[in-house]
Amino acid sequence: MSETKRMADEVNRIGQQAQERFQTGFEAASRSLSEANKGFQAMADELTDFSKSRWEAVFQAWEQLLRVRHLGDVVEVQTRYAQRAYDAYMSEMSKLGEMYLGTARNAASPVKESSRRLS
């Protein structure tokens, strides 16, 4: 009977460890998804702001084009707009790339920590 009791205790202990690992993993996954969600929301906000600023720049360029009197001025307005648009786009893509990497790091962090604790 004592052997049966010992085996039952061992099974209970293993089951409890498995449950603790599952709970720890579930909590880590939940935190990870929460961090990813925060990052994606920040990127969506950033893209919204960028889109608004680009529309404002388009309207400003159109206002300038409507006021020009010579063909050379048209080319100058378009050239300035194209350069500013390119610079803004490159800057925004760089910023979004950094935000994406930060989101990936932040989302992976709870899972890494959980893995270290379980090892």
In the chain the domains, ranked by start, together with CATH numbers, are 2-118 (1.10.287)
pLDDT of 26: 84
Summary mean pLDDT of the chain? 90
User: According to the model, what pLDDT value does residue 119 have?
Assistant: 64
Q: Residue 115 above 80 pLDDT?
A: no
**% of the chain with per-residue pLDDT over 70:** 97
pLDDT tens profile 42-83: 999 999 999 999 999 999 999 999 999 999 999 999 999 999
Write out the chain in H/E/C secondary structure: CHHHHHHHHHHHHHHHHHHHHHHHHHHHHHHHHHHHHHHHHHHHHHHHHHHHHHHHHHHHHHHHHHHCCCHHHHHHHHHHHHHHHHHHHHHHHHHHHHHHHHHHHHHHHHHHHHHHHHC
Residue 11 — pLDDT band, cuts 50, 70, 90? confident
